[in-house]
């Protein structure tokens, strides 16, 4: 069996989580048009007859402005230690600049893992836009300034599934022989509860504007199955201020209802049963700067130092 860890890195919003979902063929990690959607290290597992590939999704790299940001930065750092392969994702609809090149060079220097560069969103970027990016990066395919080369630069569309198979085979070729890390039928390392909370957060990210979604955390107070098989989920949406609470609830409770309704549909698919959601909005002042609350709402204490 060939096995290994493949860590996906890149700036916020370039499509890292979308790429993992496309590679694994399951909804592993939530996706939204807002930057800093992913907050944790999340594994997506793909097992076939010959290999087990463990893809590791990471938060988009940015300068932290609070403790949650520092936590996210630690998740990225931990994910790059001891990984077998690194994939750095760029957004093909945007200009690729020196800072992107420096970012790739940094990992070529600090890590020993083979590095692939992916230029994503090619469905939205015309050939005229993508080609100059590929040309600009092409010098990295050779040793440059004493820095080792990247293994390949692959244009993809995570959204349309373009070149995902090519990327997958390239990554597969990097894996060594080993024991499986996870049972063959698992597609993520995260619990059902974690996936439920993330689903609610995804809908909040989609339905709320401005800065509010960034200050939201979701956790499950209680979950149980009724006699008729319905999953009863009581969950809290945590916000930072009273004024945010009112916005999340919306006029006549409409916003909260819409978030719950959309989340319920996805969670029913996830659990393969009918779901009844009860949702509450709670204020925990400035929780993104409070390790105790962050731990309470499910952030890994190992990264809260
Ligand atoms: N057109 C197009 N849009 C894409 C593609 N991949 C991702 N997107 C969109 O880009 C936005 C960000 O996608 P995510 O997968 O959440 O990006 P991310 O890099 O994980 O973002 P963070 O977790 O915030 O760092 C979403 O609106 C996606 O639908 C793609 O191949 N084509
Ligand atoms: Mg993400």
pLDDT digits (tens), the chain, 305 positions: 999 999 999 999 999 999 999 999 999 999 999 999 999 999 999 999 999 999 999 999 989 999 999 999 999 999 999 999 999 999 999 999 999 999 999 999 999 999 999 999 999 998 889 999 999 999 999 999 999 999 999 999 999 999 999 999 999 999 999 999 999 999 999 999 999 999 999 999 999 987 788 899 999 999 999 999 999 999 999 999 999 999 999 999 999 999 999 999 999 999 999 999 999 999 999 999 999 889 988 898 888 77
Measure 199 CA to ligand 2 centroid, in angstroms.
13
Q: Which atom of ligand 1 is nearest to the CA of 21?
A: 15
Residue nearest atom 32 of ligand 1, based on CA coordinates: 121
Task: Work out whether strand 2-10 and strand 51-57 pair parallel, antiparallel, or are unpaired.
Answer: parallel
The domain defined by 2-177 folds into Rossmann fold (3.40.50)
Which regions of the chain carry the CATH code 3.30.300.20?
192-303
Residue nearest atom 16 of ligand 1, based on CA coordinates: 31
Q: Which atom of ligand 1 is nearest to the CA of 57?
A: 20
Q: Note whether 42 and 28 are within 8 A (CB).
A: yes
Strands (E), the chain: 2-10, 42-47, 51-57, 85-91, 115-120, 152-155, 176-177, 217-225, 231-239, 275-283
Measure 58 CA to ligand 2 centroid, in angstroms.
7
Measure 238 CA to ligand 1 centroid, in angstroms.
25
Q: Please tell me the distance from the alpha carbon of residue 103 to that of residue 11, in angstroms, as a whole number.
A: 10
Q: Which atom of ligand 1 is nearest to the CA of 162?
A: 31
Measured over the CA atoms of residue 299, residue 300, residue 303 and residue 305, the dihedral's sign is positive
Which regions of the chain carry the CATH code 3.40.50.300?
2-177
Q: Please tell me the distance from the alpha carbon of residue 202 to that of residue 148, in angstroms, as a whole number.
A: 38
Cα separations (Å) of 224 from 2, 264, 275?
A: 39, 15, 10
Whether pTM > 0.75 for this model: the answer is: yes
Q: Which CATH class is domain 192-303?
A: alpha beta
């Amino acid at each position: 069996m060939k096995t290994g860890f493949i860590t996906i890195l890149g700036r916020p919003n370039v499509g890292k989580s979308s790429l993992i979902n496309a590679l694994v063929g399951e909804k592993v990690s939530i996706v939204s048009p807002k930057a800093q959607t992913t907050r944790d290290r999340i594994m997506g597992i793909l097992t076939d007859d010959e290999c087990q590939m463990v893809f590791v999704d990471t938060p988009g790299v940015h300068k932290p402005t609070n403790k949650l940001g520092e936590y996210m930065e630690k998740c990225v750092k931990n994910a790059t230690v001891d990984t077998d392969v690194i994939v750095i994702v760029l957004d093909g609809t945007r200009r690729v600049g020196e800072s992107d090149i420096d970012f790739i060079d940094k990992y070529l220097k600090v890590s020993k893992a083979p590095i692939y560069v992916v230029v994503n969103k090619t469905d939205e970027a015309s050939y005229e836009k993508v080609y100059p990016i590929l040309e600009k990066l092409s010098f990295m395919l050779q040793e440059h300034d004493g820095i080792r080369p990247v293994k390949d630069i692959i244009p993809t569309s995570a959204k349309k599934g373009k070149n995902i198979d090519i990327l997958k085979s390239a990554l597969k070729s990097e894996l060594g022989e080993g024991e499986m890390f996870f049972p063959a039928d698992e597609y993520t390392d995260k619990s059902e509860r974690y996936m439920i909370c993330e689903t609610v957060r995804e809908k909040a990210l989609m339905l709320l504007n401005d800065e509010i979604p960034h200050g939201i955390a979701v956790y499950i107070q209680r979950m149980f199955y009724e006699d008729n098989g319905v999953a009863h989920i009581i969950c809290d949406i945590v916000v930072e201020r009273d004024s945010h609470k009112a916005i999340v609830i919306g006029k006549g409770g409409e916003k909260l209802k819409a978030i719950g309704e959309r989340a319920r549909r996805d969670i029913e698919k996830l659990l393969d049963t009918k779901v009844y959601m009860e949702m509450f909005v709670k204020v925990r002042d400035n929780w993104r700067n409070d390790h105790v609350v962050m731990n309470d709402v499910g952030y890994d204490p190992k990264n809260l130092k």
